[in-house]
Structure 1
């Protein structure tokens, strides 16, 4: 089994310093929730987010949703040959149980994640854990996984192709994809990556890289 980590993902509840902003209060009121219970989303909170730390990496939970859907709707995941983790920019880690079906509707996904933040776990009637969130740094997550190789994707990496990379992914490897819109991995992330690759001269969104990389990897083990 290999692991996939969406690192520094743009997924967080409303920061305390923004919860009194008019755009945040208005949006929370429309949802019938408190500001502290909703996800930060620059589609609604753009004005509130201006100037906050790591602004370009925050407020895009929709991109995280796309990436999760790409990773959990393929044979590799459905046959339990990949383990998915979402590491957030504020050092939370969401772990996924086996064959978890994430809502395809973003608004339903948003509700599930907000519930997860409140309850810490989402379980079935049989007490099987579907999703769990906990405070954990990226280095600690890597320590827990203990992968044989850590492969990352960045425009700063060595140029290669999905096909070449896929052929050299060993059992128990870990693939790192940025879960943010713009920018590069922080030093604490990049320092843990053993092989950093670039695919082409353009910067692709995470869900595109996931779809193409995992498809090529599936070809090496299923075909």
Structure 2
């Protein structure tokens, strides 16, 4: 059966990565979490002193982009690939709240997006891939056979993220998480270069009141129909 490209875009904490992982596993496709790539660069910028409370040293970060090597390494025990930054497993570090607070500002930088889009296109050149992010269906793979745009209410997304962070042992408040979600929504949707938007031919998928099992079954069945149409 012919393989396709599945592009999943949407707001933060809508469960894009969870759904993408499930689809990739069920279909035998490669999964790429582009959000992890932006988070890794954000971590690099933080450790390098390029991010301040009110500003980012864009020129400094851009001058060192060539030093950044990103790689996904499959973890058999976990069943998914983890992000490595310059040879170091940073999967847990990039999921912390301090990274979440800065990632949208780093993702605004044109040179960062150009670097990562080039990498992402190479990863998906052979199709048979599920990729999630903010501009996959609009910029990275505008010709993807299946495009999904995920959304949910800010309150529902903030609560999911809040629970996730608590489960990881982080001390956070729901109010802070909600503020971060709303701030990221605004930055992602209003940035000048590659803003978050729904592709014209994308399927909008609101999972505000949907469990993981239901959302997977719905999207998996839809993906199968799309694949069958490809012949």
Bin the TM-score by the shorter chain: 0.3 to 0.5
TM-score (norm 2): 0.33
Structure with more contact order per residue of length (Cα contacts < 8 Å, sep ≥ 6): 2
Flag the structure with higher strand content: 1
